[in-house]
């Protein structure tokens, strides 16, 4: 997973009291490699507000997003992304090829470790 430049700025802003924590997870259909300069996903398919966030482990935040069968139907997932306030790409990962035929839900979990 790649934390983008916007993500690094978001961490700095959040630590300074002016930023917001990531709260949206997106899925996409393109395999373009993730880079720190990404500002959007390569081919976003759908984006949902995080269904939960786990901060129980020190120096770690885990974000979970759920996607229904209708949201994934016909999609070959290649990429996942984590967004701040829905518009600023915080983190992106190319995960491989997973094809959905309309009968499977998807749960995406993204973990950020601060070391």
DSSP tag of 89: E
pLDDT tens, 59-77?
Answer: 999 999 999 999 999 999 9
Residue 27: which of 113, 85, 107, 84 has the closest Cα? 107
Identify the domain containing residue 50 by its residue range.
2-113
pLDDT tens, 9-67?
Answer: 888 887 787 878 899 999 999 999 999 999 999 999 999 999 999 999 999 999 999 99
Q: What is the pTM of this model?
A: 0.91
Domain count of the fold of the chain: 1
């Amino acid at each position: 997973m790649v934390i983008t430049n916007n993500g690094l700025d978001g961490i700095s802003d959040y630590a300074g009291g002016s930023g917001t924590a990531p709260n949206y997870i997106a899925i996409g259909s393109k395999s373009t490699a993730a880079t720190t300069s990404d500002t959007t996903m390569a081919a976003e398919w759908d984006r949902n507000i995080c269904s939960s966030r786990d901060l129980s482990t020190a120096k770690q935040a885990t974000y979970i997003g759920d996607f229904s069968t209708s949201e994934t139907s016909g999609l070959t997932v290649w990429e996942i992304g984590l967004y701040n306030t829905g518009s600023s790409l915080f983190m992106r990962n190319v995960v491989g090829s997973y094809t959905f035929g309309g009968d499977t839900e998807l749960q995406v979990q993204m973990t950020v470790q601060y070391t």
